[in-house]
Chain A
Amino acid sequence: MSKRTTLPVLAGLLAATLVPAGCRDALSPERRGRPAAASVAAASGIALDQQNGALGERGTALIKGFNPTNPRLGSTIIATFYWLGSTNIIPTVFDHLADGTPVGNGYHLVTYVTADDIAMATFVATNVQNFPEGTFPSGEKILVVEATFSAEIADGGILISSYTGVDAVFDRALGAQAVASGSGSTATIADPGAIEVSAGALAYGATMANRVVGITSPANFTPLNNGAMSNDAIKTDGEFAVQASAGSVDPQWTWFFDQDPRVGTWLATVLALNPPPPPATHLVFTVQPSNTTAGSTISPAVQVAAQDDAGVTVTSFAGSITIALGTNPAGGTLSGTKIVTAVNGVATFSTLSIDRAGNGYTLVATATGLTGATSAPFNIAAPQARVDVSGGGRIDPAIGKTTFGFDVDSRSGPPFQGDMQVVYHGGTSPMTRIHSVLIDGVTSSPDPRGGVCITWTGSARVNNGDQRRFTATACDNGQPGSSHGAGPDRFGISVDGSVNTGLTDLKGGNAQARQ
């Protein structure tokens, strides 16, 4: 073949030269498990569709068509190019019809290996489109794969094969790959290395040697293009297998370099292509809603996954998932972002909250075409009272005019940071002072006037005497100032039952409870 065959000429050449076989290897030992059919169905959805190959090409392009039958639309094409050379000088792989019509599928370089002046590169195009399906004996509508070289090659070849059932998305379809090279003068195993493959994946292997000697195929692999191809300088082989289950794949060829007096060099590659993920069929709450308080964001964020029948999250699912209240024991309202687009098959609802306390709430997740899911029951508690309280002022209980000040942080303990000072003076009696030394309990409750009452307990000294237990309560009606809002704030304290102001309206001052 000339350096670069022009496309009109190529159409005529294809019928004559692009026959589905290169030069057959007369020296090959007996082969194992060679299929007779061109299309091999696998246990999974991936199956060989079309194949072709040839060696003995030279120039600046390697070209091969799927004559006489084109692949099916949407299938995946693997093209392995072999040539004499030590660098990857393939800048472009593209496809067109034999009559020159551009097709435009994208071919991705997946593996490349070279040693001892032989080289091998494998390209993959998924979801091939834009060509006619069918058989074309006259050749002009045959889909042709072409690699251009940036420099002339003295010898080379191409092996193309197409497969149905591979994931249409290249990045998702492409699995593990491995390449290796070696040499020997005896029977030598060419092993690209083991790769892990998923269930139903296609394992594709290719090898090349600079000696035309016998070769055995890897166990459990099926040869492509009726087996090894060779000419007087190189010999190649391509194989595939569809893996019923996930596991390790390690194709190994044996090159009989002992059939040639010279040391032989081999190249080998293996790659995996995955089938599309099973379709999502149903939704699952992968992060259940947690108990929280009314009005607070449910945390951690609720997550709903789209899963297949086997319970595996379908990472390709990118649809919208809607969440709503299911069981609603308290007539609550669900707030937050309730429609979320799944990312990698999972929708994360990070802003959900429910405004009313109740036990046994559930959430329901729905998505078009999928079976919905109901969450585990969860509870919404009444909002936590604000946990810090401070204030001061005056009350006038029966024990005498009382002034007080306090500052208690319930988040800090127990024991809790804070302080309290109370002093009262009844008539001519001496002033009595109560000063907290330990605050070991803080509780809160709604204030019937609105707002919240905070009660703290602990030990206090009365007039610098022995420590005695006390209980103090301050109620913040939500309004600053002693006479604003729904009545004054209140304060009260009891000490071991001997001092008790009762919960008394402030005559002056303020109590402020806060989060």
Chain B
Amino acid sequence: MKSLTKLVVALSLVAGALHAQTPVSGQALGAAVRTPATTIQSGQVTLPFGGGLVAADVDALSAPEIRVDALTTMTSGAMDMQASTAQSTAHLANVNVLNGLITAETVIAATSSWVSSAAGWNAEGSSFTNLTMNGVPLGSGDYLPAPNTRVNLPGVGYVVLNEQIASGAAGITVNMIHVVLQNALTGLTTGEIIVASASSSVGN
């Protein structure tokens, strides 16, 4: 099964000779669920070639695996002779994953990519607010775990928090919550849940 991660990562551009007025791309995703019983992609936006702004609002998302009160995704970008930039955000309110296994008051994924005199990216602005796991708060208030923090979820699989996947010199994907569902007996992957994903890339 192709993973959603691969789908998102595929939107990031391969590293190469980067310079100003290079193509920009971006994508944001509110939430995605792929299990044998459920397939959801909510609030997905993709930046058109040449830049601009694309945004999507979802008032409520409710599925057996996830509930979200509201989400907004945005991706924007521009290119000119001085610089080419792209940035994406996914902003979710009152997130509940797997019936309270993971909750957060706010989840924001934010990425920024640029090529000017130099190329770069960051995920600044990404954070959780009042993140809990199994009812236990992780951090307090605004919280951002280290990139690619893996937490096992016994009987469920595991979750990667603040999953960051770099792509080239100016490409980044951030998945704030990436739950990998596994068969408790075999350990085989049975599905995945992605909450708050943002990607941006400049170059080709």
A residues with CB within 8 A of B: 388, 390-394, 401, 403-407, 418-421, 423, 425, 427-428, 430-431, 433, 435, 479-483, 506-510, 512, 514-515
Q: CB within 8 A of B76: which of A401, A406, A515?
A: A406
Judging by beta carbons under 8 Å apart, are A431 and B76 in contact?
no
Contact with A along B47-68 (1 / 0, CB 8 A): 0000111010100000000000
Judging by beta carbons under 8 Å apart, are B72 and A392 in contact?
no
Q: What separation, in Å, do the CA atoms of A482 and B72 have in the docked complex?
A: 21
Interface set, chain B 83-120, CB cutoff 8 A to A: 83, 85, 87-89, 91, 93-94, 105-106, 108, 110-112, 114-116, 120
Judging by beta carbons under 8 Å apart, are B76 and A405 in contact?
yes
Question: How many Å from the CB of A102 to the closest CB on chain B?
Answer: 65
Q: What separation, in Å, do the CA atoms of A515 and B83 have in the docked complex?
A: 11
Known: A423-B72, A430-B93. A508 touches B55 (CB 8 A): no
Q: CB within 8 A of B55: which of A418, A435, A482, A510?
A: A435
Smallest CB-CB separation from B57: which chain A residue? A433
Per CB-CB distance, the 4 closest pairs between chain A and chain B, nearest first, are A508-B125, A480-B114, A405-B74, A394-B125
| Residues in B whose Cβ lies below 8 Å from that of A514 | 78, 80, 82-83
- 27 inter-chain pairs at a CB distance below 8 angstroms, sorted by A residue, are A390-B51, A390-B85, A392-B87, A393-B87, A393-B125, A394-B89, A394-B125, A401-B129, A406-B53, A407-B52, A423-B57, A423-B91, A425-B70, A425-B106, A479-B116, A480-B114, A480-B115, A481-B114, A481-B122, A482-B112, A482-B125, A507-B110, A508-B122, A508-B124, A509-B112, A509-B124, A512-B85
Known: A393-B125, A431-B70, A512-B85. A403 touches B76 (CB 8 A): no
Known: A508-B126, A514-B82. A394 touches B108 (CB 8 A): yes
Judging by beta carbons under 8 Å apart, are B91 and A425 in contact?
yes
Judging by beta carbons under 8 Å apart, are B110 and A508 in contact?
yes
Asked whether any CB of chain A lies closer than 8 Å to the CB of B167, the reply is no
- Give 14 A-B pairs besides A401-B129, A403-B74, A509-B110 with Cβ atoms closer than 8 angstroms: A390-B52, A391-B87, A392-B87, A393-B125, A403-B125, A406-B53, A421-B53, A480-B116, A507-B110, A508-B122, A508-B123, A508-B125, A509-B125, A514-B83
Question: How many Å from the CB of A514 to the closest CB on chain B?
Answer: 4
Q: What separation, in Å, do the CA atoms of A441 and B176 have in the docked complex?
A: 37
| Residues in A whose Cβ lies below 8 Å from that of B124 | 482-483, 507-509
Judging by beta carbons under 8 Å apart, are A390 and B72 in contact?
no
B residues with CB within 8 A of A: 51-53, 55, 57, 69-70, 72, 74-78, 80, 82-83, 85, 87-89, 91, 93-94, 105-106, 108, 110-112, 114-116, 120, 122-127, 129
Q: What separation, in Å, do the CA atoms of A421 and B72 have in the docked complex?
A: 9
Q: CB within 8 A of B74: which of A401, A404, A427, A479?
A: A404
Q: CB within 8 A of B89: which of A405, A419, A430, A435?
A: A405
Smallest CB-CB separation from A425: which chain B residue? B93
Q: Is the interface of A mostly helix, strand, loop or mixed?
A: strand
Q: What separation, in Å, do the CA atoms of A475 and B55 have in the docked complex?
A: 21
Q: CB within 8 A of A507: which of B82, B125, B129?
A: B125
Smallest CB-CB separation from A395: which chain B residue? B125
Q: What separation, in Å, do the CA atoms of A423 and B116 have in the docked complex?
A: 29
| Residues in A whose Cβ lies below 8 Å from that of B123 | 508
Q: CB within 8 A of A407: which of B51, B115, B122?
A: B51
Q: What separation, in Å, do the CA atoms of A419 and B75 have in the docked complex?
A: 12
Q: What separation, in Å, do the CA atoms of A418 and B110 have in the docked complex?
A: 22
Known: A390-B51, A405-B55, A406-B76. A481 touches B89 (CB 8 A): no
| Residues in B whose Cβ lies below 8 Å from that of A506 | 125
Judging by beta carbons under 8 Å apart, are A431 and B72 in contact?
yes
Q: What separation, in Å, do the CA atoms of A433 and B59 have in the docked complex?
A: 10
Judging by beta carbons under 8 Å apart, are A481 and B112 in contact?
yes
Judging by beta carbons under 8 Å apart, are A392 and B105 in contact?
no
| Residues in B whose Cβ lies below 8 Å from that of A431 | 69-70, 72, 91, 93
| Residues in A whose Cβ lies below 8 Å from that of B57 | 423, 433, 435
> Which of A390, A391, A427, A480 has the largest number of chain B CB atoms within 10 A?
A480
| Residues in B whose Cβ lies below 8 Å from that of A482 | 112, 122, 124-125
Q: What separation, in Å, do the CA atoms of A509 and B108 have in the docked complex?
A: 12
| Residues in B whose Cβ lies below 8 Å from that of A483 | 122, 124
Question: How many Å from the CB of B162 to the closest CB on chain A?
Answer: 13
| Residues in B whose Cβ lies below 8 Å from that of A406 | 53, 76
Q: What separation, in Å, do the CA atoms of A483 and B75 have in the docked complex?
A: 19
